[in-house]
Amino acid sequence: MAPETKVFDAIVIGSGQSGTPLATALVKSGRKTALVEKSHIGGCCINEGCTPTKTLIASGRAAYMARRGPGYGIPSHVDGAADMIKVRQRKRDIVSNWREGGEKRLKNAGVTVFMGDAKFVGEKEITVESDVGQEEVLKANLIFINVGERPAAPPLDGLEGVIATLPEKVLDSTSIQELGEVPESLIVLGGGYVGLEFAQLFQRLGSKVHVIQRAKQLLPREDPDLAESMKDILMEDGLKVHCSTEAKHITVDPLAQQPITLTTHSKLDDSTSTVTGTHILLATGRRPNTDTLNLAASGVQTDSTGYIPTNEYLETSVPGIYALGDCKGPPAFTHVSYDDFRVIRDNLDLLPYPSASSFGKPIKPHSINTRKSAIPYVCYTDPQLGHVGLHLHDIPTSERKNIQVAKMPMSYVARALETDESRGMMKAVVNGETGDILGFSCIGIEGGEIMAVVQTAMMGGLKWWDLREAIWAHPSLAESLNNIWGYLEDA
Ligand X SMILES: NC(=O)c1ccc[n+]([C@@H]2O[C@H](COP(=O)([O-])OP(=O)(O)OC[C@H]3O[C@@H](n4cnc5c(N)ncnc54)[C@H](O)[C@@H]3O)[C@@H](O)[C@H]2O)c1
Ligand Y SMILES: Cc1cc2nc3c(=O)[nH]c(=O)nc-3n(C[C@H](O)[C@H](O)[C@H](O)COP(=O)(O)OP(=O)(O)OC[C@H]3O[C@@H](n4cnc5c(N)ncnc54)[C@H](O)[C@@H]3O)c2cc1C
Min CB(154)–ligand X separation in Å: 4
Is residue 221 within 8 A of residue 312, CB to CB? The reply is no
Using CB under 6 A, which of the segments 30-38, 162-170, 296-304, 311-319 binds ligand Y? Answer: 30-38
Listed in order, strand segments (DSSP E) in 31-124 are 33-37, 112-115, 117-122
Reduced to 3 DSSP states, what percent helix, strand and coil does the chain have, rounded to the nearest 5? 35, 25, 40
Q: Does 217 bind ligand Y (CB under 6 A)?
A: no
Rounded distance between C-alpha atoms, residue 266 and residue 288, angstroms: 30
Q: Does 333 bind ligand X (CB under 6 A)?
A: yes
Min CB(213)–ligand X separation in Å: 5
Q: Which amino acid is at 444?
A: G
Please select the residue that binds ligand Y; options are 22, 25, 45, 275, rule is CB under 6 A. 45
474 noted as active-site residue: yes
Is residue 314 within 8 A of residue 323, CB to CB? The reply is yes
Q: Does 378 bind ligand X (CB under 6 A)?
A: yes
Is 54 annotated among the ligand-binding residues?
Answer: yes
Is residue 210 within 8 A of residue 273, CB to CB? The reply is no
Rounded distance between C-alpha atoms, residue 437 and residue 386, angstroms: 15
Is 197 annotated among the ligand-binding residues?
Answer: yes
- Please give the residues from 259 up to 288 whose contact with ligand X meets the rule CB under 6 A: 283-286
Rounded distance between C-alpha atoms, residue 83 and residue 205, angstroms: 9
Q: What is the CA radius of gyration of the chain?
A: 24
Min CB(389)–ligand X separation in Å: 16
Q: Does 173 bind ligand Y (CB under 6 A)?
A: yes
Pairing of the two strands 403-409 and 425-431? antiparallel
Is 135 annotated among the ligand-binding residues?
Answer: no
Q: Does 241 bind ligand Y (CB under 6 A)?
A: no
Is residue 387 within 8 A of residue 441, CB to CB? The reply is yes
The site that binds ligand Y (CB under 6 A) totals a number of residues, namely 36
* CB neighbours of residue 20 within 10 Å: 29
Min CB(173)–ligand Y separation in Å: 4
Min CB(491)–ligand Y separation in Å: 29
The sign of the torsion formed by the CA atoms of 291, 296, 298, 300 equals: positive
Is 424 annotated among the ligand-binding residues?
Answer: no
Q: Smallest Cα–Cα separation from 380: which of 449, 300, 302?
A: 449
Which residue has the closest beta carbon to ligand Y?
A: 148
Of the two residues 157 and 291, which places its CB atom closer to ligand X in the complex? Answer: 157
Please compute, for residue 490, the number of CA atoms within 13 A of its CA located in the half-sphere on the CB side.
6
Is 191 annotated among the ligand-binding residues?
Answer: yes
Rounded distance between C-alpha atoms, residue 79 and residue 314, angstroms: 52
- Please give the residues from 367 up to 386 whose contact with ligand Y meets the rule CB under 6 A: 380
Min CB(211)–ligand X separation in Å: 9
Q: Which does 215 bind (CB under 5 to 8 A by kind): ligand Y, ligand X, none?
A: ligand X
Of the two residues 284 and 316, which places its CB atom closer to ligand X in the complex? Answer: 284
Of the two residues 13 and 156, which places its CB atom closer to ligand Y in the complex? Answer: 13
Is residue 38 within 8 A of residue 359, CB to CB? The reply is no
Rounded distance between C-alpha atoms, residue 19 and residue 478, angstroms: 35
Q: Does 278 bind ligand Y (CB under 6 A)?
A: no
Q: Which does 475 bind (CB under 5 to 8 A by kind): ligand Y, ligand X, none?
A: none
Strand partners, 132: none
Min CB(26)–ligand Y separation in Å: 16
Cβ-proximal residues to 147 (8 Å cutoff; 6+ apart), any chain? 13, 14, 16, 288, 289, 290, 293, 325, 327
Angle (nearest 5°) at CA 445 between 439 and 449:
50
Using CB under 6 A, which of the segments 12-20, 187-195, 367-375, 452-460 binds ligand X? Answer: 187-195
Is residue 429 within 8 A of residue 440, CB to CB? The reply is yes
Please select the residue that binds ligand X; options are 144, 353, 380, 464, rule is CB under 6 A. 380
Per-position x/- string for 143-182, each x denoting binding to ligand X as judged by CB under 6 A, each - no binding:
-----------x----------------------------
Q: Does 14 bind ligand Y (CB under 6 A)?
A: yes
Known binding residues for FAD are 54, 326
Catalytic positions are: 474
Q: State the residues that interact with ligand Y by CB under 6 A.
A: 13-18, 36-40, 43-45, 49-50, 53, 117-118, 146-148, 173, 194, 289, 292-293, 325-327, 332-335, 337, 380
